[in-house]
Amino acid sequence: MPTDSETQYDPSLGRKFIFVTGGVMSGLGKGITAASVGRLLKNAGFEVTAVKIDPYLNVDAGTMNPFQHGEVYVLADGGEVDLDLGNYERFLGIEMSSDHNITTGKTYQHVIERERAGDYLGKTVQIIPHITDDIKRRVREVAEGTDVCIVEVGGTVGDIEGMPYLEALRQFAHEEDEEDILFTHVTLVPYSKNGEQKTKPTQHSVKEVRSIGLQPDVIVGRCEQPLEPATKEKIALFCDIPTDAVFSNPDVEDVYHVPLVVEDEGLDAYVLERLALEEEAIPADERENEWREVVTTDKSGEVDVALVGKYDLEDAYMSIHESLKHAGFELGVDANVRWVAADEMAEHHTERLRGADAVIVPGGFGMRGTEGKIEAATYARENDVPFLGLCLGFQMAVVEYARNVLGLEGAHSAEMDPETPHPVIDILPEQYEVEEMGGTMRLGEHTTVIEPETLAYELYGDTACVERHRHRYEVNPEYFDRFEGEPMAFSGTAGNRMEILELEDHPYFLGTQFHPEYSSRPGTPSPPFVGLLEAALDGRGEVAYDEEVTA
């Protein structure tokens, strides 16, 4: 019986693959480096896609703690994936699927299921060839129909869990034509105390890569400042690559400037030459500069946004931070995000919100911090501060209104308080029939119908929008009649699901059961975030933000 690899491999397809590995330490930014190269190739006229390999045993990122891995990014098909796929979607302007995220759990699960079904006809199932063949199959399937596929291997070279993936890449190099494969290694180039750029970490990292059977074609040095010529020459000498194949990726003010920096370094030109794509590429002087124009927009002001959440980690709310940037590009302002710990609101009341130009209450799971999120909604509602509630933030705005305006004492979400006398947020009746918890989760893109002549209609400019979801609980239909005729109204629905709420006679009070931050892009910002910043600009200037209180 043919292996997975044999059934998929076809060298006549002419696809190009860029494999990106990282050395020395994790969190270097190899994902941003890879996404930046992809952005430049797309500017040159090529169809580009990406694969993120995560060597952990989880099947997907859905159950991961945001403190450890940052936010769980949700794809259009409902896939719960690593946040790096969000960067690829934002940089490449493409829509990815669950297949673009390969995990060890997903790969082993598939191979074991095949073994149980007898597909291997009694053969001994092993890492090589069965796991490595499945890895290669997955990469090639994603690459189908594109010109270039960028494959980022998560973790650091030398990690034991990453070894099967590196072996699969070694086999790729054996199976594909040399001009169709480019190995890029991203590594740390630190400074010594005397200010000298040190190449020894890079040398040891490349030595590790080569011991596995991989030879980097390109080395990208992550550093505070651009690599000095002598540093590049030393890396080239000891790592056995041409000096012009060594590039800098220095620290920048904004990750969206990385494509501009590596373009100035000539990385895109080298990649096009190395992959024999020069003749097919749009000439450099004829390429669109839309990306550069968007991300270098002149800023004429700034807005302070209080983000009231439970995870004191920027990566846990990465898509929200990025959506605010995108809205800022659109409006020509900087959005300064001020972190406010939701579980400390009870102690400090609303002092931490004083002077904020706008308030965002993000999504989340679990009881911790919910009372603080409710207090934030109260503060924004009573003080005419622009407010955006996302998913759980939307639900807590409903709870707040039910308690403080409708007079439903003890109202809450049944998720947080199963004994609440007024479960204004609950699982829908049809969901109780689903036995497995995961089966009740609403994931991925769904359509919301928008009422005309509402704030939501003004923002989206249409009677419908398609946004991504990640939640289990909903506004309880038994309480719909309590909200009829109220200033707080549901302006977006999906059948008996309430999707958007807004408050009349308020500068900007909006809540969405969905996550609009997942579909925001540079140049095409999310409407709710643009509306929030516009309202903040219209009403700002009364009270300066209290730095001591927010520290």
Instruction: Give the whole-angstrom CA distance, residue 288 versus residue 291.
Output: 8
DSSP collapsed to 3 states, 68-120: HHCCCEECCCCCEECCHHHHHHHHHCCCCCHHHEEEHHHHHHHHHHHHHCCCC
Instruction: Give the whole-angstrom CA distance, residue 440 versus residue 428.
Output: 9
Cβ atoms of 156 and 22 within 8 Å: the answer is: yes
Cβ atoms of 415 and 476 within 8 Å: the answer is: no
Instruction: Give the whole-angstrom CA distance, residue 323 versus residue 375.
Output: 24
- Which residues belong to the active site? 391, 515, 517
In the chain, what is the straight-line distance between the N-terminal and C-terminal CA atoms, in Å?
A: 63
Cis before residue 129, ω within 30 degrees of 0? yes
CA dihedral sign of residues 436, 114, 123, 170: negative
Instruction: Give the whole-angstrom CA distance, residue 70 versus residue 82.
Output: 8
- 248: its two tokens: 């800098």
Cβ atoms of 185 and 215 within 8 Å: the answer is: no
Instruction: Give the whole-angstrom CA distance, residue 100 versus residue 137.
Output: 12
- The amino acid sitting at 82 is D
Which residues are 465's β-sheet partners?
Answer: 448
Instruction: Give the whole-angstrom CA distance, residue 401 versus residue 482.
Output: 11
How far are the Cα atoms of 26, 321, 331, 383, 469 from residue 131, in angstroms, in the given order?
24, 37, 49, 58, 32
A 10 A CB-CB count for 339 gives 16
How far are the Cα atoms of 10, 17, 48, 141, 277 from residue 144, in angstroms, in the given order?
11, 11, 11, 5, 18
Instruction: Name which of 305, 288, 221, 298 is nearest 261 in CA terms.
Output: 221
